[in-house]
């Protein structure tokens, strides 16, 4: 193979392709609940914090912001409490998600089915990518 600035990828044999995790999903590939595709029709995975909890926490944060002028210390204390509640729920959700994922592949015999492993890997990728996107500064 020559390296003249252009590289044409060589097709992989079918036996190698079968064990690869695809970057994109085909239109007819099955999707597991809570997973998404890399395409433009990408649907988000399950909530990291439920809508009901967000509906409770957002007004508390807004209340803290609204009361800052009258009572700055109390406003900051409430904002700190809301932040702590969000962080706790987020951590609890991620811990449970990891537990469920692990049981999907670890609790099986040592010959776990390739498809189950592929599904687990795809789910790990999806949640990790979501976390990485969340950790980037706003506007990126």
Could you write out the three-class secondary structure of the chain? CCCCCCCCCCCCCHHHHCCCCCCCCCCCCCCCCCCCCCCCCCCCCCCCCCHHHHHHHHHHHHHHHHCCCCCHHHHHHHHHHHHHHHHHHHHHHHHHHHHHHHHHHCCCCCCCCHHHHHHHHHHHHHHHHHHHHHHCCCCC
- How would you write the pLDDT of the chain (140 residues) with one tens digit per residue? 444 444 444 444 443 333 343 333 333 333 344 444 444 334 456 788 899 999 999 999 999 999 999 999 999 999 999 999 999 999 999 999 999 999 888 866 666 688 888 889 999 999 999 999 988 887 76
> What's the predicted TM-score (pTM) here?
0.60
């Amino acid at each position: 193979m020559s390296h003249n600035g252009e590289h044409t990828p060589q097709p992989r044999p079918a036996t190698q392709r079968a064990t690869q995790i695809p970057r994109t999903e085909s239109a007819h590939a099955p999707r597991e609940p809570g997973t998404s595709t890399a395409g433009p029709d990408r649907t988000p995975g399950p909530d990291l914090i439920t809508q009901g909890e967000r509906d409770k926490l957002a007004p508390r944060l807004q209340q803290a912001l609204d009361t800052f002028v009258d009572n700055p210390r109390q406003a900051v204390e409430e904002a700190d409490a809301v932040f702590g509640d969000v962080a706790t729920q987020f951590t609890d959700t991620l811990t449970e998600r990891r537990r469920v994922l692990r049981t999907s592949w670890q609790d099986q015999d040592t010959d776990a089915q390739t498809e189950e492993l592929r599904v687990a890997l795809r789910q790990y990728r999806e949640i990790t990518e979501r976390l990485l996107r969340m950790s980037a500064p706003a506007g990126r």
